[in-house]
């Protein structure tokens, strides 16, 4: 099924400001590193041993150590969208070469990535920052070689539902832009050209000793990017009411708890298969790729 629309209702200017702020932080959010650890546990079931691996959105993905541990022989290319994000990743990689594998690894812009260059593409906790998830997936598809493997994680619509309810009860609008359902993400993968998409999810709950600590961590994870959010700056009195409302929802131990839905997906880039029509045009490179593919029951070319 083709998605109705891949565009999300985001304030693009607010998104860019938020990404600039997150990329000037000393490190990626703790939650991102935890999701990277959980996603890396799944690599034990993947037989592929990529020679070149793209770590898409590497700084906020906080995955380099996990990927280097899983694929010690691979060349890991950190991919960022602009110079500021590339600088953030380079800063994070400024340790000794024997710890970071800098002799084999590189940091480059997505525009510098050659089509079909990588055998595996990894994107951790970055897709929910995309205003057009389908366009992001199309870029992944271009980067991957035929039979290349994609793994990604993102936030789903079960994230921060308690905060949504709090805002609704208080008449404060929405606290964040909506996240994309995993079934729609699976449809987008197919639309982008991927095959055999598999989606699953889990929900984790974080707790904090105080409402102030909860708000501080939420700010480290992003911002309210909803188009319909309240205009102008919130006042100190409003912030106090928010803290009180969060505190009123504390559990029996007095801790503030909020749930996050983590969505995981993986898929392959299949061999190109042109649509059959009365007249069909096939790119020369696609023809070469199909010609190199082994036929069923026959060995492939060396």
Measured between alpha carbons, how far is 176 from 118 in angstroms, rounded to an integer?
34
The answer to the question of residue 225 being in a domain is no
Q: Residue 234: what pLDDT?
A: 84
> What CATH code is carried by the domain that includes residue 123?
3.40.50.150
The answer to the question of residue 244 being in a domain is no
Q: What does the pLDDT profile of the chain (302 residues) look like in tens digits?
A: 444 456 788 999 999 999 999 999 999 999 999 999 999 999 998 999 999 999 999 999 999 999 999 999 999 999 999 888 988 898 887 755 445 444 457 899 888 889 999 999 999 999 999 999 999 999 999 999 999 999 999 999 999 999 999 999 999 999 999 999 999 999 999 999 999 999 999 999 999 999 999 999 999 999 999 998 876 778 899 999 999 999 999 998 999 999 999 999 999 999 987 665 555 555 556 655 555 555 434 333 33
Q: Residue 32 region, left (φ>0) first, then alpha (ψ -120 to 50), else beta?
A: alpha
Q: Decide if 260 contacts 31 (C-beta within 8 A).
A: yes
The answer to the question of residue 242 being in a domain is no
Q: What is the pTM of this model?
A: 0.85
The answer to the question of residue 268 being in a domain is yes
The answer to the question of residue 300 being in a domain is no
Domain range enclosing 137: 12-157+179-201+263-273+282-289
Quote the distance between the C-alpha of residue 144 and its chain's center. 16
Q: Residue 97: what pLDDT?
A: 47
Residues sharing a CB contact under 8 Å with residue 14, sequence separation 6 or more, in sequence order: 223, 224, 225
Structure tokens, 120: 């595996």
The answer to the question of residue 2 being in a domain is no
Residues sharing a CB contact under 8 Å with residue 31, sequence separation 6 or more, in sequence order: 125, 206, 217, 221, 260
Number of domains in the chain: 1
The answer to the question of residue 256 being in a domain is no
The answer to the question of residue 267 being in a domain is yes
């Amino acid at each position: 099924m083709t998605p109705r629309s891949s565009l999300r209702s985001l304030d693009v200017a607010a998104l860019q400001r938020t990404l600039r702020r997150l990329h000037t932080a000393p490190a990626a959010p703790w939650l991102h590193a935890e999701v990277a650890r959980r996603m890396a546990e799944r690599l034990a079931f993947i037989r592929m041993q990529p020679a070149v691996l793209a770590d898409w959105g590497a700084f906020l993905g906080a995955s380099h150590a996990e990927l280097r541990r899983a694929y010690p022989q691979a060349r890991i290319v950190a991919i960022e969208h602009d110079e500021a994000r590339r600088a953030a990743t380079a800063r994070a990689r400024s340790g000794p070469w024997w710890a970071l594998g800098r002799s084999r690894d590189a940091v480059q812009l997505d525009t510098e990535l050659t089509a079909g260059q990588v055998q595996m593409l990894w994107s951790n906790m970055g897709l929910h920052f995309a205003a057009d998830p389908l366009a992001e997936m199309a870029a992944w598809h271009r980067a991957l070689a035929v039979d290349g493997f994609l793994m990604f994680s993102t936030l789903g619509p079960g994230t921060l539902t308690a905060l949504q309810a709090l805002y609704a009860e208080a008449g404060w609008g929405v606290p964040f832009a909506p996240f994309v359902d995993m079934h729609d993400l699976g449809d987008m993968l197919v639309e982008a050209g991927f095959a055999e998409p598999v989606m699953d999810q889990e929900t984790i709950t974080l707790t904090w000793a105080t409402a102030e600590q909860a708000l501080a961590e939420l700010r480290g994870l992003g911002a309210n990017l909803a188009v319909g959010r309240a205009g102008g700056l919130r006042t100190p009195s409003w912030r106090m009411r928010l803290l009180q409302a969060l505190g009123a929802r504390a559990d029996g131990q007095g801790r503030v708890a909020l749930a996050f839905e983590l969505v995981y997906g993986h898929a392959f880039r299949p061999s190109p298969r042109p649509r059959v029509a009365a007249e069909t045009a096939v790119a020369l490179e696609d023809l070469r790729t199909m010609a190199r593919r082994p036929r069923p029951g026959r060995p492939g070319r060396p």
